[in-house]
Structure 1
Amino acid sequence: MTTTKSTGSRASADRLARLLNLVPYLLARPGVDIAQAAADLGTTGRQLREDLELLWVCGLPGYGPGDLIDMAFDGDRVTITYDAGIDRPLRLTPDEALALVVALRMLAETPGLASREAVERALAKIEDAAGEVAGTPVAVGLPGDVARLDGLRAATQSGRAVRITYYTAARDETSERVVDPIRMLMIGGRGYLEAWCRRAEAVRLFRADRIDAMVELDEAAVVPARASRYEPREAAFQPTPDLPAVTLRIGRGGRWITEYYPCDEVRPEPNGEWLVTLRVTDLAWARRFVLGLGPEVTVVAPAELVAEVHDAAAAALAAYAVPAATPAGPSGSG
């Protein structure tokens, strides 16, 4: 089966938004025609009927008579007869308020956040409404090297070039380069510096926790007009058809690979193993990756990678080999 990006989360979010709008709409228009309601809410009559069927099993904990949303139908007209309290303003418990305050404080510290002012305004309102609860001392910080993130953010704002020492995992090497910062981004829960790399003469993403050292230079950052910016996305690595394809046979303990890495194809086999095809930046990275997974993964293709993994594994085993014991000489009396 070929894997495709799931749209389930988006569809669920859209449906939740419709349901939240649907109840107050119906409360304000008792006996409204379903076709008219569908037109007003920007959906189809069939979808609206399905949403109404779902609303019938929504309500307060207990979920028995008197807890669930109820409605009455008269032909193609519908009226909400019990709203299960959905018309009342939401009131947060102290624990909920504190959790929301902590989440907003962390969001405000996220690198590359475009709407920091909006987050800070929302945080101020919630802290004011929460009162003493919001004053509970809670240290909030992002995972990783916070000082490094702050330094990168400062360099980006100052408009100066930066010399960095960077570890490239794909090639397993550390290099020094001068970059012209563009902005900070948060991708997949990690901080990245988007910058013009003078060595590569292109825009690159540098993962903050892989920058071993940095020095802000006295020269201004200059980003060429031809530089193309990265589009915000869920993962820094985006596979393309021109990259090498690797096929692996994985056991049950290695199935997490299909959730962590973008895969072109995932095909279950009768014995419970999966054949997985994915794109990699280069085969050297793929060799190190496979060797680190141990017996849960077997390389199927390409043949070049099969040979490299076999040779590396054989060399590792040979390093652990115990030399044969030297036979003792004959013993006897002199």
Structure 2
Amino acid sequence: MNNNVLPVLIVGIVLLNLEACYGQLQVGFYEGQCGNQDVESIVNSVVTGSFASDRSIVAALLRMQFHDCFVSGCDASLLIDGDSSEKKAGANLSVRGFELIDEAKTAVEQACPGIVSCSDIIIMATRDAVTLRGGSGARYEVETGRRDGLISEKANVDLPGPQTSVSDAIDRFSRKGLDATDMVILLGGHTVGVTHCDFFEDRLWDFDGTGSADPSMDPDLVETLKLKCPQDTNNESVEVDLDQNSSSSNIVDNSFYQEIRSSRGILEIDQNLALDPSTTDDVATLANDGSIFLNLFGESMVKLGQVGVLTGTDGQIRLRCNSVNAN
């Protein structure tokens, strides 16, 4: 990404024909399929009600969509119960928001049984949550028309971790049809949410076996975090904001990029986005312009939602999102 290209990208977003289809996905897929009920409004009502009592649901749903789409595609396989299902993988044990998806599914089933997929509900609910925490400028149109997958295997879960290198992350995203800029933008979802000490405490106490802190982290932040994450202590339950700007840590905006440019990234992969030559220009551009971030974040979320989708007769419409046998 460079400053000369970005204006063209933004114009492209503005001029995008929102009825364009990718495969059989399209904006407004459910229009006219649910009697006089609007499917997206039903889901929005559930998300708004949940948000009123739990604003952290925004980060939870962003994580859910990423963890679902990045494994076997956006097929709601993450929602399926089972001893060896994706839910049981270590990376997914702290994923939450399942109750909200179930509530939304119940509501749409009452309005029009057997029409709306669980995978589409994840996509719609995440968009609505982002809008609630990012304002009208964060709203993006979502494509729908997915069907739900039939397979959910813990062994298939191989998500990028907090110590993944930038080059490896770019490679992993490219295998999903997402480029390096999409990767930088989607990791910007860390503008909301928290992590736990055990995912980064090596950066405070023994980075790369040196017995010292990661030199790329702001020394004042290191000392602050050492108080929260004492060495040789069980810190698994201690939460730390991924965006260290306390006035913005629960808002979908570009503050995350400003923080990592100031050496205040929490996860190693986040901090390295600002340092790696292949991504540092992207980070600078996004840090300097919040409107560009919101526009491109919506575009990249739509691209993420296109990964590995099932349409037509390839999948099913589940009656209950946690079971492939309920159709």
TM-score category, normalised to shorter length: under 0.3
| Structure in which a larger fraction of residues adopt helix | 2
TM-score (normalizing by structure 1): 0.19
| Structure in which a larger fraction of residues adopt strand | 1
**Rg bigger for which structure?**
1
- RCO higher in structure (CA 8 A, sep ≥6): 2
